[in-house]
Chain A
Amino acid sequence: MLHRRKKEKAIESTLLIVSGVTVVALFLLCFFLFREGYLLFGDYSLFSFITGSSWYPSSSPAKFGLLPLLTGSLIVTAGAIILSVPLGIAAAVYISELADPRVAQIIKPFVEILAGIPSVVYGFFGLVIVVPLLQDMLDLPTGQTALAGSIMLGMMALPTIISVSEDAINSVPTALKEGSLALGSTKWQTIYRVVLPAALSGISAAVMLGIGRAIGETMTVMMVTGNTAIIPGVPEGLFDPVRTMTATIALEMGEVPQGSDHFHALFAVGSVLFIITFIINLIADSVKKKYRLKEAA
């Protein structure tokens, strides 16, 4: 009995230490991220950082305007969501409601494999196939545009959106569907009027997770969007080159001397990115929780 308790204690304290280290490491990470970013504002005004419309980090005086990067990230992400959400939900409805179970058994792992392809492979595919295709089809000076980034990101967000919305659709109580069918609705009416509204919060969580994935993606976007730090117009900016926050950090981090303003500016951009993804994850989480409560009730 005594031995057993000792053993329990040992395991407990080991786990406590390990998880404690993880939490402390995460806190330190946030702390350093924000501190390094904050240091920029000793020399550079926060106002110009947030409202500045040009990003010239290596000219003198340097200009660290967040707006082109922020709007670049937003337009690429918005495009990705517009493309991937309808497709993702349609695929999820098909897999869980319409497909022959044997077909679904084949499609589901296939979708999950898509999530495992390294982003540099998506990027290369985008650069070699999608970019020239866009350039020819739309007669653009260059295919390296926000749209190319959106298409690639949409593809990459699809697995997340499909699998999370599929879970949501699957957990709609069978009684609801049967009730609807018993009242004489067709299969399509049931899906459209009953299943989708019932699964709505789960689907919204899927969309939020997709956005989270899209806004944080770096490598693929850097390879196909042209990385031009100009504020894009809406919606014609979709057909112009843009630069995202992640691509800026990846492109420039290699060169900056540690402790310089440029270095701190990249951390400040990283902090903004962190805050945005944090908020998106919070929303996704709360939407998900609501949805679980409903289901339990």
Chain B
Amino acid sequence: MFKKSMSYMITLLLVTSLALFGAGCVGNDDAADHGADEMQSIQIKGSDTVLPLAQGEAEVFMIENPDKAVSIIGGGSGVGIAALIDGEVDIAMASREMKEAEIENAHANGIDPIQHTIAWDGISVVVSPENPVSELTYEQLKAIYVGDISNWNEVGGEDREIVVLSRDSSSGTYEYFKDEVMDGEEYRADALINPSTGAIIQTVSQNPNAIGYVGVAYLDGTTKPLAVDGGNGAEEPTSENILAGTYPLARPLYFYTDGEPEGLALEFIEFISSETGEETIFEVGYFPA
């Protein structure tokens, strides 16, 4: 008898777990829609550049508001925007503007993306501390990245082959650099594609031939940031220069919401531009909008 009831139990268990699994999938969507009413929670996803900022803000915010939950996942600007288009998240983080095609997709899904600039990020061009080169113009940077210049001695350095590092194409920084510095031209075919900013820092710090770009928040002394001349003289990527707008490689960081934000999403966005929020922005290494 015992054995028989066991087999029924197992069958029952399998059936219920399947049913629960199915229900779980549906349940998630509900939470995103009605979460603000009941549990006071929002989901944020997207750019790895914005991630440390959003996380820092969320920590302070949740200490001040223990009954509210802000959950944040990285993955890249494209991933976050795709999640917003699919209605999976309340806020998408992005380090680039949404593309035309993405906005069209969103409208087709009944989503109306609204852009919020929450902070500014400086992009720093980095080389090994052993490299004597300390400044480059936009023209030189472009020539290096599209492949017209391939030796450091052409830009005043030693006779070494330049090893060009780039992020992968799902990075907002990849797109920003391509548009801003390279006039939309393609990266040279033999550029090394790194899956993360950490990998670029790691590689540049140990390779005197390498050049790469990273968010200034990631500068940690193991690499040397170059002064960049965007046409108005070479400027160092210092906080003064970025805030004053003289350092040319600075870009806004965005939140995207579906329609005007309300409830907890609005509260969180407003918190970021509050005094406490701005302090956190500086602490993380970015600059208030």
Contacts and interface: CB of A to CB of B under 8 A. Distances in A.
A127 B192 CA distance: 13
B63 to A, nearest CB: 31
A254 B170 contact: yes
* Chain A interface residue number, banded: 35 or more
A290 to B, nearest CB: 38
A251 B167 CA distance: 9
Interface string A149-181: 000000000000000000000000000000000
B186 A250 contact: no
Interface string A9-36: 0110010001000000000000000000
Contacts of B191: 228
B130 interface: no
Nearest to A225: B192
Contact of A227 (B75, B170, B193, B209): B193
Contacts of A132: 206-207
Interface centre among A3, A54, A227 (most CB of B within 10 A): A227
Interface in A252-271: 252-258, 260
Contacts of A228: 189-193
Given A127-B203, A254-B79, A226 B193 contact: yes
A128 interface: yes
Contact of B76 (A10, A11, A143, A255): A255
* Chain B interface residue number, banded: 35 or more
Given A7-B7, A10-B11, A144-B203, A226 B192 contact: yes
Given A141-B161, A144-B203, A230-B189, A251 B195 contact: yes
Contact of B105 (A18, A142, A227, A257): A257
A228 B76 CA distance: 20
B10 interface: yes
B6 to A, nearest CB: 9
Contacts of A241: 190, 192
Contacts of A230: 189-190
Interface stretch (A38-46, A55-63, A182-190): A55-63
Interface string B188-225: 01111111000100110011011000000000000000
B192 A3 contact: no
Contacts of B170: 251-255
Contacts of B102: 257
A207 B190 CA distance: 32
A195 interface: no
B7 A227 contact: no
Contacts of B10: 14
Nearest to B150: A141
A114 to B, nearest CB: 24
Interface centre among B11, B160, B203 (most CB of A within 10 A): B203
Nearest to A251: B168
A252 B195 CA distance: 10
B199 A223 contact: yes
Contacts of A67: none
A10 B207 contact: no
Given A127-B202, A228-B192, A257-B102, A142 B210 contact: yes
Interface of B: 3-4, 7-8, 10-11, 14, 75-79, 82, 101-102, 105, 160-161, 163, 168-171, 186, 189-195, 199, 202-203, 206-207, 209-210
Given A251-B170, A255-B78, 6 more contacts: A7-B7, A132-B206, A222-B195, A252-B170, A257-B82, A258-B105
- Sort A-B residue pairs by CB-CB distance and give the 7 closest, nearest first: A254-B170, A255-B170, A255-B78, A227-B193, A226-B192, A251-B168, A141-B161
7 contacts: A10-B8, A10-B11, A143-B207, A229-B189, A240-B190, A257-B82, A258-B82
